[in-house]
Amino acid sequence: MTVMAPGTIPFAVTDICPEAVTAAVDVLQSGWVTTGPGVEAFEQDFAAFVHADHAIAVSSCTAAIEMSLRALNLPAGSAVLTSALTFCGAVGAIVHAGLRPVLVDVNPLTLMPDAVTTAQAVARHGQASAMVVVHYAGQPAPVQELAEAAGLGLSHVVEDAAHALGTWTADKPVGTTSATTCFSFYATKNLPIGEGGMITTNDGDLAARLRPMRLHGMTRDAWRRYLPGGSWRYTVEEEGLKANLTDLQAAIGRAQLKKFPAWQLRRASLADRYTEALSQDPRLITPGIPLSGTHAWHLYVVQIHPRTKIHRDEVIDRLTKAGVGASVHFIPVHHQPFFRRLLGPTGCSGLETTNIVFEQILSLPLHPLLTDAEVDRVCATLLDIVRSAEVTLAPAASPALVKGRL
Ligand SMILES: *Cc1c(COP(=O)(O)O)cnc(C)c1O
């Protein structure tokens, strides 16, 4: 972790609750630390939390996405749609699964693909075999609408819910709408373990394929083989990965999950406080509030209005100098040299809104340990910086970027 000067407000802080520390020590002293009964218990708690029939614990959300796509048994090299404004690892997972990513432009206000940009990507690049839908920042993505725009059934949709534990679509938690849903327990995510992931599904056949896939394709978990009366024998029926979660991580996760509802309330209250302080200033565009469902507020992403003549990089530099951490989510996938080569000029085209909003977005500190006074200081510092900039009356670069229009 970066050492911060006193008075500095870091972008992210990992809060591991005391109960998780105790539970971790118990596992370390138990004589069994890798995948075992603790993982099973965490899977049960997690499945119940998102109202899913099955949960399969894995080593990361990246592995969860790769495994989910492998489990769909698509022809090698098939096209898979995903957002151009997502984490590079989530697109790497498509490549690892032997498939071909097709990037979709975003809506300038939600910063996620919408039905229009999805249909445009299909018109430009042809019918895709599957789609990875990301709930950017914790907003509920319109999964059904996007699937229809892509001409796909929900059985060919994988949700990237790395930001979306705690997100509800209209009437249910994210976790059961599509073939599978993939969660992350990375250090900065809403349920931090440090590393880890989870796949949820209501499809029993998919779950049965995914369970052995996370551990070399072996038909029987190692710990069951070592139980009294257990047999040393196992078979490998299908190709597998080494992507299991350990009992140590699961113990931390179970304890953290008990704190999670209170943490989410705190995040929502901090997000409200940001919006109240920042939304009145026309130099900034604050995140939209979903019309239905629940926002998990993993990230609080503001945009510098295109009429405000200051670049995002300068804003972040000045925030940093003032002791306020900030970040950018994300560097567009097609700006990375590896993906530029992989996608080629055609695959990198038609992503104009992503290119425009990338220059304007910044993520402000947001985590349950943040205080109201710290949010007030972040807002005052940011407003000072943008108010020092000239505001032009020329039309905005993108007509859709008219403040307040969704
Ligand atoms: C963090 C993140 C991931 C990857 O999660 P890991 O658990 O670190 O593999 C995937 N997608 C998005 C959108 C993320 O932010």
1 Cα: distance to centroid of ligand 1 (angstroms): 19
Q: What is the pLDDT of residues 234-291, one digit of tens each?
A: 889 899 999 999 999 999 999 999 999 999 999 999 999 999 999 999 999 999 989 8
CA dihedral of residues 158, 162, 163, 167 (deg, nearest 10)? 50
pLDDT at residue number 285:
97
Is pLDDT at 156 greater than 50 in this prediction?
Answer: yes
Q: Whose CA is nearest to atom 8 of ligand 1?
A: 186
Residue 193, classed as helix, strand or coil, is coil
Q: Whose CA is nearest to atom 10 of ligand 1?
A: 90
For residues 24-36, average pLDDT: 96
**Tokens matching residue 276:** 């109240």
Please state the atom number of ligand 1 nearest to the C-alpha of residue 195: 7
Is pLDDT at 44 greater than 60 in this prediction?
Answer: yes
For residues 352-376, average pLDDT: 98
Please state the atom number of ligand 1 nearest to the C-alpha of residue 63: 9
Q: Give the catalytic positions in this structure.
A: 189
128 Cα: distance to centroid of ligand 1 (angstroms): 23
Pairing of strands 100-104, 172-173: unpaired
159: which strand partners? 133, 181
pLDDT at residue number 66:
98
Residue entry with tokens 């190692």: 222
More confident residue, 5 or 174: 174
Is pLDDT at 111 greater than 70 in this prediction?
Answer: yes
pLDDT at residue number 222:
64
218 Cα: distance to centroid of ligand 1 (angstroms): 26
Q: Is the backbone of residue 29 left (phi > 0), alpha (psi -120 to 50) or beta? A: alpha
**Integer Cα distance of 84 and 21 in angstroms:** 38
Which of 59, 111, 158, 186 to mutate to test ligand 1, by most ligand atoms within 8 A of the CB atom? 186
pLDDT at residue number 1:
45
For residues 175-198, average pLDDT: 98
pLDDT at residue number 287:
97
What confidence category does residue 5 fall into, taking pLDDT thresholds of 50, 70 and 90? low
Residue entry with tokens 């900034």: 284
Q: How many CA atoms lie within 13 A of 315 on its CB side?
A: 32
pLDDT at residue number 224:
73
CB contact at 8 A, 4 and 10: yes
Cis amide prior to 183 (ω within 30 degrees): no
Q: What is the pLDDT of residues 56-91, one digit of tens each?
A: 999 999 999 999 999 999 999 999 999 999 999 999
Please state the atom number of ligand 1 nearest to the C-alpha of residue 62: 9
**Tokens matching residue 289:** 């509030």
284: which strand partners? 304
Is pLDDT at 205 greater than 90 in this prediction?
Answer: yes
Q: What is the pLDDT of residues 113-133, one digit of tens each?
A: 999 999 999 999 999 999 999
For residues 196-222, average pLDDT: 93
Q: What is the mean pLDDT of the chain?
A: 94
Q: What percent of the chain has pLDDT over 70?
A: 94
Residue ranges around ligand 1 (CB below 6 Å): 60-62, 86-87, 89-90, 134, 160, 162-163, 184, 186, 197
Is pLDDT at 98 greater than 70 in this prediction?
Answer: yes
What confidence category does residue 229 fall into, taking pLDDT thresholds of 50, 70 and 90? confident
Residue entry with tokens 């995510």: 189
Amino acid at 1: M
Q: What is the pLDDT of residues 298-316, one digit of tens each?
A: 999 999 999 999 999 999 9
Is pLDDT at 3 greater than 50 in this prediction?
Answer: no
Amino acid at 177: T
180: which strand partners? 158
Amino acid at 56: I
pLDDT at residue number 291:
87
Q: Whose CA is nearest to atom 5 of ligand 1?
A: 61
Contacts of 158 (CB under 8 A, 6+ apart): 65, 68, 69, 72, 130, 131, 132, 133, 178, 179, 180, 181, 182
